[in-house]
Amino acid sequence: MSLKSKTALVTGSTSGIGLAIAKGFAGQGANVVLNGFGKPDEIERTRAGIETEYGVRAHYSGADMTKPAEIEAMVREAQETFGSVDILVNNAGIQFVSPIEEFPGEKWEQIIAINLSSAFYAMKAAIPGMKAKGWGRIINTASAHSLVASPYKSAYVAAKHGIAGLTKTAALELAPHKITVNCISPGYVWTPLVEAQIPDTMKARGLTKEQVMEDVFLKAQPTKEFVTVDQVAGLAVFLCSDAASQMTGANLTMDGGWTAQ
């Protein structure tokens, strides 16, 4: 399989799942557009590192995923830089945990904007170019929470259920144009973000590191193992292959059996 001459835009890709997906595409020869927050020097190191390691071109956009105009400009900039956006991965996301009656309104709006609306605006901007080429792949990072709920995550669960519905609708609209639209729904993935939560959780619950991982993070995953970012990236790359050309509108779980219960 080769993605040479293709360009992949991955939102939320300066670390974690998004970065692994971007590197997965670069490994297949695709040029990549990174997006996300972080320290400028670290982002530049990451961008340059991808070019050096994989022999592709890598571009960075600092577009704010809460601002539709910036999202549209990011897609346009990618098209102008590389000639097209062939693969779009809507991966940007944030989390906030609170009972509904205490959930800050601004946090609700921010999570819906970044986790759901940004995918709509990016798709809206990228689809015309994909239609013109007669080929495209759109992959939305959902979550096990696109299928099941957990308490205190109302905005996140609502957004991820929304991503699953948006995926299906777009898949139906784009099926005649050789553009597939799917979402990947991981369970708990081992990322720096998850790792950083361990000390606070240990302190708050009076647990050891092992107890936090087993009884908090992995409680819902029957395999009792974290999903890795490379496993998610591997599935994203597969969805861009010829073998996956008839897969569209699917919600693909990678959650250690969480949603099978």
DSSP codes joined into one string, 134-158 = T-EEEEEE--GGGTS--TT-HHHHH
Strand order in the sheet with 136-141: 58-61, 31-35, 7-10, 87-90, 136-141, 179-186, 251-254
What does the DSSP 8-state code read for residue 255? S
Active site residue 152: no
**Partners of residue 185 on adjacent β-strands:** 253
Farthest-apart Cα atoms in the chain, separation: 57
Determine the residue type at 137. R
Report how far residue 118's alpha carbon sits from residue 59's, in angstroms, rounded to the nearest whole number: 19
Contact 166, 250 (CB under 8 A): no
Fill in the amino acid letter for 123: M
Of 54, 60, 121, 156, which residue is the catalytic one? 156
| 123, two tokens | 């798709």
Give kind and range of the element (H or E) at residue 59. strand 58-61
Q: Point out the residues that are catalytic.
A: 156
